[in-house]
Amino acid sequence: MTAIPLTPSEAAEPAFTGRSAWRLFWERFKEDRAALFAAAIIALLVFIAIAGGPIAQRVTGHSNTTAYTQTMEDAFGIPKGPNSQFWFGADGAGRDLFVRTMYGARTSLEVGVVASGIAVLIGLVVGLVAGYFRGWADTVLSRFADVMLAIPQLLIAIGIVAACSTTKTGCLHGLIQPGLGIVIGVIAFFSWSIIARIVRGFTLSIRERDFVEAARSLGASNTRIIFREILPNLIGPIIVYTTLLIPQSILFEAALSYLGLGVPPDTASWGGLLNQAAQYYDVAWWLMLFPGLFLVITVLAFNLLGDGLRDALDVRADR
Amino acid sequence: MLLYIARRLVWTIVVILVVVLITFVVFFKLPNGDPALRFAGRSPTPESLALIRHRLHLDKPFYIEFGYFAKNFFLGDQNGWPGLGYSYEGSVPVMQEIKQRAPRTLCLIAGAATLWLVFGLAIGVLSAVKRRTIVDRLAMGFALFGISAPVFWLGLMALYIFWKTLHLTGGSGYVAFSQNPGAWFSHLILPWSVLALLYIAIYARLTRGSLLETLGEDYIRTARAKGLSERRVIFRHGLRASLTPIVTQFGLDVALLVGGAVITESVFNLQGLGWLAINSFLTQDLPTVLGVVLLGAAAVAIMNLLVDIAYAFLDPRVRYA
Amino acid sequence: MNRPLRRLALAGAVVLIGAAILVAAGSAGQAKNQIARGGTLNVGWEQSFGFTDNFDPTGEYLGDAFGIMDNLLVRTLVGYNHTPGADGNKIVPDIASSWKISNGGKTYTFHLKSGIKFGPPVNRAVTSKDFVTAFERLAKPADGAEYAFYYSVIKGFDEYGKGKAKTIAGISTPNDSTIVFNLKAPAGDFLYRVSMPATGPQPAEVTKCFEGKAGQYGRDLVSTAGYMIAGMDKVDISSCSALKPASGFDGQTVMDLVRNPNYDQSTDPTRKNYPDEVKFTVDASADDIYNKIEAGQLDLATSSIPPQVLRKYATNSSLKSHFFQNSGDRTWYITMNLTQPPFDDVHVRRAMNWIMDKAALVQGWGGPTIGAVANHIVPDTLFNFKLQGFKPYKTPGDHGSVAKAKAAMKGSKYDTANNGMCSDPKCHGVLLLADTRAVDTKMLPVIEADAKKIGITFTVRTINGAYPTIQTPSKNIPIAERPGWGKDFADPVTFFSPLFDGRTIIPKGNTNYSLVGITPAQCKKLGVTGDCSPYDAKTGLGVPSVDAQLDKCEALVNTEASDARTVCYEGLDRYLSTQVVPWVPYLWSYVTRITSNNVTHYQFDQFSTTPAYSQIAVK
């Protein structure tokens, strides 16, 4: 509907510019310098994840998996520190720590993003159903979430990882492969119920809003309401909580690798490197410092970005 | 109201039993399979393996064993109630093992919880009051670091800096308070600080957010308009109202740590309940695993129950959900 | 000076100097003999005791427990000198003063010393019947025995165990100080078998309370040697219900041993029993333990030493006197499954032995202070160094040789390009099972890189506690780097029978990981996939068997005149290392121990490969 100009002067220039929700978000986000900085760091990390490892290998001439036992380990097997050839020193097995730290970015980001993605997907579906349809679906979800909370996470994780570790084909007829597959599966398994609870909360409040009421009174089917009215309003929270779930997943993977339960020994992982650091912490400070710093900075960047997105999208967890 | 409590109580017990059942399933389906092998020596005959399995009560399918466990638990065994049996290794009563390890975990949690409650709330309130100043930014920056730095990294760095290099604190390992209070403290100060850091960060952010939200409410504006001092407004009216989510979160966090402080316990070699659970799981010592899992699940489920009852008390709508 | 006088002077000088030397030697000897008695020896134990049967001698199989028992608590018919090296592996009298072997090696008659008593609270003399009690407990599976198979050779032992007889027919006690064993067949190592702690005398009035209850007697172990569990004198044995565990051993955190008042040192020339008290305490971490040793709060530890502590003690001249290295009589090896490709071809197995950088693997364990590079199956110490020069796969620096490996691979069915590389598709992605110890993380990259040099690539799977999986033939694990094997006693039979006898392969708990000597019928029954057909020397494929050679060696007996038995086993080691090649042995580990400043005299017990606790003196 076009505005009827009241006076010729008013018709010349618009009284206000209509802004879409995305426009609003972008304006607000642009102002948040911390969040922009975080986004830049993440972009850099993504680059490192994709190309950092191979570039490091090319530049240093050291492969990711070769143990340089004769040059970088002393007679007692203790790794040696940074020098001109090995910029970060050697890891616990005599490999180039710089190359492995670069490859570690790939592991962390891969596991973090994929595991979070799966968890959000499952959580979205379950939370939506529970929050919209209420009734027994809702009860089942709450009960399930109660049990998930009380389960000893680490023990079950050990059990699952061990159960799928000893053959070449993994378990569930090859559906879950040992290695990254299992770690992603385990993290997703323990994370989805948190997302489901959040989505349920949002769905509950959205469905009480006027426009949903209006759509229903117009005779819209449940499917239409869900896809047309509720889901679009969930996108904001989903983006925020996915971004906030990624650092949790990264830390979870690091913790599993630290305990020796995570990725296979060949694959570089910051948590795995810290596991080696624990053995040599009083004689090999570099093993503690470099992987740890990278891990902290990555997690920090995602948390910062998530915070910024939450502020810009004006998302607040409803009770 | 009573009916609601009764319903939730029954459900709590069900949750605990379900968790134990899941542990049974995972234990029996592990590929390493046969705990009897550890006690069979070299070249065990199938008969001796069968005998050992029978002695360890492993020769029946898992649901029957679960039944035995549940029966023993509720009715007690020769050691009284609850009947948790004997561990495979050393034939030590599981209750005794738990009683020996529990103080370490509880000391760890108590110290850390005190630290994080005090500092988390203080920093959160400070941040909220001085929002958007340099103090706020620094505090929130510190909080951001706190939730981003993993315990195992902080722990290692702390040990290296404060113990190996500066010799300011005790190292890894646990010393009982009764043995040597000074050493008990110096060995625990680092684990307390490292564990608390994460939660200080979480609680500072939580407090700040919650307090800011409350301070935006109308009745706060009224209180200010009435001429109350800012301090009274914040503490008397603002903080009180915003404490509810914090308290419930606190209860849950503490309960989760009972079985969940594994990494801190591992970095500092405290050998508490978390270590006991993992260690006995890896050595396939089922009775001990079950004992610790039960304890952890009970802590969480009961805390959940208390929180829900508290809410039902405060918000009548919940009761009829 | 004229000549005779000069000669006299010279002679006098010689006599004087000789006398001086004698006096000096005498006083040095005197000083050596003045090893201080008394004090408390504090031993740290890492993480947990880990006893296999909670210290009940009948079922206890942990090496560290052997060291405690045979030094401090349990005397047996025959024993050892509790010294290092070959002297410590030698059989000497303990409770038996002498013995006679007759009937073609099938009858052993032992005469017992007098004056040997049980410690508190039993307090009576040991008789031959008390040995029968021990053997009866060994025979019954419900009592938890873990090496009962050594005694099946005694007539009637298995029948008694199955409940088919009231007594063991082959053991007779004509009087209190004589015991006779009748065997089904001659066993050249029988004396070694009755040196094991499970065969030590046990008082039936106490053990009857633990009938059928494995893992309980340990806390009430009645001693016959120089020490006893603290608090045993307060234990009430008047009835089984009154019997409580002794206060000195709580099963979990501490074992406190004090002097046994009933012990007569004059009956025991081998155990010196210097300390007044020996206390074992469980401590959380190796880090903590070695800090305490440096501070003097602990004197010794049973745990392995972290590499940084090793480095400190091995390189620091002032600390070197507290650093002790002895042979562990143990081989660590990579095991290859003879039924799984590509290791079903002896060419490939030989190539693996040539290509491995064993020095790097040993370095991963901690370097030369941890052990020596292994060259064949049995550690040289067990063959008295006769096989010291036998290094069939020796390469410069023990770093492996690509050229030699490729030469060995040539002619293999998997060498499809005939260039010494394993190029058949079966050589790629071979399943390798690894454990998750720190040393595995260090060994894996080396093993993988070396195998790649001859064309073999691995799919690595790790599991915490790999042994149960490797011990299950139906899992068909082609290669594993976890295993190690130590002797039970100093006869080579303990290094061959359990490891290479095809007839004793069992579905679970199997120790012949390579499946040497397995038959196609067994393969079918046990669920082993892969080719189990017998060895074909022309192609190098198939499963060789050494069962016949094992039987031959086992039947031989070493005598004063000839050590035919040992020579036979030496030949078997050579054969296995060059013709069967089931392993890539890489390390003969030492037992390295560090002592505190309080320890004035340290000794190693070669039998148990632990510190000889009764021969260690503290200030």
User: Using CB atoms, which residue from B31, B41, B174 is nearest to C61?
Assistant: B41
- C-alpha torsion B192→B193→B194→B196, nearest 10: 80
For residue A282, give every residue at least 6 positions away whose Cβ sits within 8 Å of its Cβ, in sequence order, or none: B160, B164, C308
C63 touches chain B (CB under 8 A): no
**Do C473 and C511 meet the contact criterion of CB atoms below 8 Å apart?**
no
Mean pLDDT of C504-527: 93
B57 vs A310, higher pLDDT: A310
C498 touches chain B (CB under 8 A): yes
Mean pLDDT of B21-42: 74
pLDDT of residue C125: 94
B295 touches chain A (CB under 8 A): no
For residue C488, give every residue at least 6 positions away whose Cβ sits within 8 Å of its Cβ, in sequence order, or none: B42, C147, C196, C494
d(C-alpha A59, C-alpha A82), whole Å: 16
A155 touches chain C (CB under 8 A): no
A92 touches chain C (CB under 8 A): yes
Q: Which residues of A touch B152 (CB under 8 A)?
A: 254-255, 258, 271, 274, 278
From the CA of C321, how many Å to the nearest CA of chain A?
19
pLDDT digits (tens, 9 = 90+) for A165-221: 666 666 655 556 677 888 898 899 989 988 888 888 888 888 888 888 888 888 878
B159 touches chain A (CB under 8 A): yes
User: Looking at chain B, which residue has its C-alpha nearest residue A301?
Assistant: B148
A176 vs A283, higher pLDDT: A283
User: Looking at chain C, which residue has its C-alpha nearest residue B170?
Assistant: C288
Supply A306's token pair: 């998530």
d(C-alpha C126, C-alpha C69), whole Å: 17
Confidence of residue C284 (pLDDT cuts 50, 70, 90): confident
Q: Which CATH class is domain B98-320?
A: mainly alpha
d(C-alpha B85, C-alpha B56), whole Å: 10
pLDDT digits (tens, 9 = 90+) for B226-270: 887 777 777 777 777 777 778 878 888 888 888 778 889 988 888
d(C-alpha A29, C-alpha B6), whole Å: 49
Mean pLDDT of A218-237: 83
Residue in the structure block whose two tokens are 């594993």: C480
**Residue A312: pLDDT above 50?**
yes
pLDDT digits (tens, 9 = 90+) for C451-504: 999 999 999 988 888 888 899 999 999 999 999 999 999 888 999 989 999 998
pLDDT of residue C191: 94
Mean pLDDT of B33-39: 72
**Mean pLDDT, chain B, as a whole number?**
83
d(C-alpha A204, C-alpha C123), whole Å: 79
Residue in B30, B37, B38, B48 to test binding to C, most C beta-carbons within 10 Å: B48
d(C-alpha A236, C-alpha C157), whole Å: 77
pLDDT of residue A74: 92
Q: Which residues of C touch B39 (CB under 8 A)?
A: 52-53, 59, 144, 146, 214-215
pLDDT of residue A6: 53
**Residue C22: pLDDT above 60?**
no
pLDDT of residue A1: 45
pLDDT digits (tens, 9 = 90+) for C188-229: 889 999 999 999 999 999 999 998 887 889 999 999 999 999
**Residue A319: pLDDT above 50?**
no
Q: Which residues of C touch A77 (CB under 8 A)?
A: 307, 363-367, 442
B216 vs C110, higher pLDDT: C110
**Do C362 and C368 meet the contact criterion of CB atoms below 8 Å apart?**
yes
Confidence of residue B47 (pLDDT cuts 50, 70, 90): confident
C447 vs C556, higher pLDDT: C447
Q: Would the CB atoms of B100 and C253 count as touching at under 8 Å?
A: yes
**Residue B97: pLDDT above 90?**
no
Region at B302 (left for phi over 0; alpha for psi -120 to 50; beta for the rest): alpha
**Residue C23: pLDDT above 60?**
no
- Give me the percent of chain B exceeding a pLDDT of 90: 17
B22 touches chain A (CB under 8 A): yes
User: Using CB atoms, which residue from B34, B39, B100 is nearest to C52?
Assistant: B39
User: Using CB atoms, which residue from B27, B31, B156 is nearest to A166?
Assistant: B31
User: Looking at chain A, which residue has its C-alpha nearest residue C475?
Assistant: A167
Supply C600's token pair: 């004035």
pLDDT of residue C2: 57
Residue in A146, A165, A270, A305 to test binding to B, most B beta-carbons within 10 Å: A146
pLDDT of residue A303: 93
What are the two backbone dihedrals, phi and then psi, of residue C34, each rounded to the nearest 5 degrees? -85, 55
User: Using CB atoms, which residue from B145, B150, B259 is nearest to A251?
Assistant: B150
User: Using CB atoms, which residue from A70, A165, A276 is nearest to C463?
Assistant: A165
Confidence of residue B48 (pLDDT cuts 50, 70, 90): confident
d(C-alpha A191, C-alpha A189), whole Å: 6
Helix (H) or strand (E) segment spanning residue C116: none
Cis amide linkage into residue C342, ω under 30° from 0: yes
d(C-alpha C384, C-alpha C85), whole Å: 9
C155 vs A162, higher pLDDT: C155
Confidence of residue C544 (pLDDT cuts 50, 70, 90): very high
pLDDT of residue A318: 40
d(C-alpha A121, C-alpha A109), whole Å: 18
pLDDT digits (tens, 9 = 90+) for A108-141: 999 999 999 999 999 999 988 888 888 888 888 8
Q: Would the CB atoms of B148 and A153 count as touching at under 8 Å?
A: no
pLDDT of residue B302: 86
pLDDT digits (tens, 9 = 90+) for C88-106: 999 999 999 999 999 988 9
pLDDT digits (tens, 9 = 90+) for C132-147: 999 999 998 888 888 9
**Residue C256: pLDDT above 50?**
yes
Confidence of residue C31 (pLDDT cuts 50, 70, 90): very low
Q: Would the CB atoms of B145 and A156 count as touching at under 8 Å?
A: no
Helix (H) or strand (E) segment spanning residue A237: helix A231-258
**Mean pLDDT, chain C, as a whole number?**
90
Residue in the structure block whose two tokens are 């940074």: A82
d(C-alpha C20, C-alpha A256), whole Å: 70
**Nearest by Cα to C256 from C118, C124, C123, C68:** C68
From the CA of A72, how many Å to the nearest CA of chain B?
22
Residue in the structure block whose two tokens are 């909220």: B128
pLDDT of residue C473: 93
List the domain boundaries for chain B. Answer: 2-94, 98-320
What are the two backbone dihedrals, phi and then psi, of residue C574, each rounded to the nearest 5 degrees? -60, -45
The ipTM (two decimal places) reads: 0.85
pLDDT of residue B66: 83
Confidence of residue C168 (pLDDT cuts 50, 70, 90): very high
Mean pLDDT of A59-69: 91
A198 touches chain B (CB under 8 A): no
Helix (H) or strand (E) segment spanning residue B100: helix B94-129
User: Looking at chain B, which residue has its C-alpha nearest residue A299?
Assistant: B148
pLDDT of residue C13: 56
Mean pLDDT of C288-310: 90
**Do C458 and C364 meet the contact criterion of CB atoms below 8 Å apart?**
no
**Residue C16: pLDDT above 90?**
no
